[in-house]
Structure 1
Amino acid sequence: MGQEEDIPPFDPQGAVYVYAAMADHIAARIAAGDLRPGTRLLGERALAEEYGVSIGTARRAVEVLRRRGLVVTLAAKGTYVSDGDQSQSPTDEQRDAEA
């Protein structure tokens, strides 16, 4: 657990929207233990820079993670990995609904 080899590489050129690929990558990092419950995510600008995407894409990825229950955002504090069950991965239907 927490091994980087457990986390697939981020692929913005794949068959899914970039924000969905980014959300999936962050979700994989959470599932692998790289991002533990209570860990503060980088801000949207820093996430966008780290992933090489626009701030809008980073914002939408964080929104998807919130809807999945993987992160919570506290006003004026930031976004944190939630303490809930993060073992569930979204179905294709859930991903389509997010698009």
Structure 2
Amino acid sequence: MRTCIGCRKRELAVELLRVVAVGNVDGAGNRSSTVTVDLARKLPGRGAWLHPTPHCLDAAIRRRAFGRALRITGSPDVSAVVEHVSAVNSAEAPEPPGNRTGSEEHEHTVKSR
């Protein structure tokens, strides 16, 4: 069981998106953190969990939950997470079973002679 940093509800890990902070150092030596999505759930470091919905993402940004959960200072760059969540939610939903044609439904039952 993991807790979403946006809505604070506990869910199974398979229903949540894991994010991790990746440290960056620019040319001037300034350190900043970028929050990235860990689809394989194997990146090293401290991770945080989030429902892949705009509601939970907005709540996490508003509450500054990324910095707190990942234990980083300053405001991290969460643009990669925003892009991923918007891509997941803009993807087309699968067609309901009633919209299939008859040839597709019975395709596996036809025997070749």
Task: Name the TM-score, length of structure 2 as normaliser.
Answer: 0.33
Bigger fraction of residues in strand: 2
Larger Rg: 2
Bigger fraction of residues in helix: 1
